[in-house]
Structure 1
Amino acid sequence: MNLSKNEAWDAVHDERLRLADDLATIAAADWQRPSLCPGWSVHDVLAHLLDTARTGRVAFVRSMIAARGDFDRANADGIRRCKDPDPARTLAEFRASAGLRRTPPANLATRLVEAIVHGEDVRRPLGLSGDYPAPAVRGALDYQLRTRVSFGGGAERAAGLRLISADSGAARGEGPEVRGTELDLLMAVSGRPVPVAAFDGPGAELLAARSAQSSIQ
């Protein structure tokens, strides 16, 4: 990741506030709209982002102990803690927590992944467009490509493919080429469904198919 620690946190904080501004404009029914996270509504994703913004290293360890090491259960517990019956109150709490610098015991790039990918998880179903700093998207993509799916990354989804950024021309990996924006490449390797039309090249269909898989064997 080419961003400094302060630059990375600034990008995360700015994105949280932009997302809060976007969600302040949606209709009441949109809060229950399915996000790109299977089984999570737009409101669920916001509650998850609030939980992760508030969760530092000690709290993360405690949550994993309570969940008996099950990440999915820990996430579900966090959503229950932070999801107010009134989405407006969840949103207000999220906005108030936007400047926090808390993180689990993990690479700081995971905070960029969290902010950008979950931002798209709610924006795309709502027909909204995100505006993310190119270095932040690049740092998140690079992290996902070197991290296994079992640890929340996307290395296996990109295996055997050469990803080429339509934004910068940067190439990653070897194999049949796939050209797309770095944001679409990030979403695909993060296991979010991206239509094949978003990509060009002989590897486009394979990456689009893998993007819809939550796990890769």
Structure 2
Amino acid sequence: MDIRGAIADERVELAALLDGLTEQQWKAPSLCEGWRVREVAAHMSFGFRTGRGQVLRELLRARGRLHRMTDRCARRDAAAMSEGELAAALRNNAHHPWTPPVGGLTAALGHDVVHGLDITVALEHERRVPLERVRPLLEGVTPRSLKFFGADLTGVSLHAEDLEWSYGAASGTPVSGAAQDLLLIAFGRALPPGRLRGEAADRFSATTRSRPRGQGGEIRQRP
């Protein structure tokens, strides 16, 4: 798979989607607790707009707490940038080589895909991420990644309905759904009701649980 091409396509498509949002949608809550669509969009382009030195200074201000830093910067940039600027920051950086500190290009794709879903799923938008972009992200799910994002899959097994993929012990209670929704579960998100099937589906609903936070109160599941 051409990961770089998939990243560029995802950013361009998400920028076009952002261009079409209403003012009310920009202010709507996302799947990232405490963040509106504006904050998610601002966070998505932070790595493109910020040099390494500035990132280190921001991290020092946050006393080394990455999640606290990203939260503060997202809120600051969301307030300072217009809707058009937030969309353009994705479009104009479609081929930017930024990657997260760990995970390389696949992690960069995951950053864009998952945060795009944080927006579209929360808004009940009909967009579906192409399965060829979701597959490598699901295949990268590990106990370590689940722990980092605060995803507790104890006693359940996930089964994609539109992709040949499953995760978890065979004895676990089956939870099924679209591949992109299962990806959100693996990244610690709580979904709107009705998107999953199975006896344990409600366990991953936004109405039945809150998302985990770090020791300083910051959200833990933002990639």
Asked if the contact 2:149/2:186 (under 8 Å) is kept, the reply is no
Asked if the contact 1:164/1:172 (under 8 Å) is kept, the reply is yes
SS of the equivalent of 1:45 reads helix
Q: 1:159 to 1:23 in 2, by over 3 A?
A: same
Match for residue 188 of structure 1 among 185, 189, 194: 185
SS of the equivalent of 2:144 reads coil
Shift of 1:162: 1.4
Q: 1:196 to 1:47 in 2, by over 3 A?
A: closer
Return the alpha-carbon distance in structure 1 between the equivalents of residues 213 and 70 of structure 2. 21
Return the alpha-carbon distance in structure 1 between the equivalents of residues 211 and 146 of structure 2. 8
Does residue 92 (structure 1) correspond to residue 88 (structure 2)? The answer is yes
Structure 1 residue aligned with 2:39: 44
Q: 1:164 to 1:126 in 2, by over 3 A?
A: closer
Does residue 104 (structure 1) correspond to residue 100 (structure 2)? The answer is yes
Q: 1:209 to 1:119 in 2, by over 3 A?
A: closer
Q: Deviations over 1:93-119 (max 9, x none)?
A: 332122201123210232222111111
Structure 1 residue runs without a partner (length 5+): none
Count of equivalent residues: 210
Identity of aligned residues (%): 30
Return the alpha-carbon distance in structure 1 between the equivalents of residues 103 and 207 of structure 2. 25
Q: 1:105 to 1:147 in 2, by over 3 A?
A: same
Asked if the contact 2:173/2:200 (under 8 Å) is kept, the reply is yes
Structure 1 residue aligned with 2:219: none
Does residue 73 (structure 1) correspond to residue 87 (structure 2)? The answer is no
Structure 2 residue aligned with 1:16: 11
Which protein has the bigger helix share? 1
TM-score (ref. length: structure 2): 0.79
Amino acid at match of 2:124: G
Match for residue 165 of structure 2 among 170, 173, 198: 170
Amino acid at match of 1:101: P
TM-score (ref. length: structure 1): 0.81
Shift of 1:65: 2.9
Amino acid at match of 1:171: S
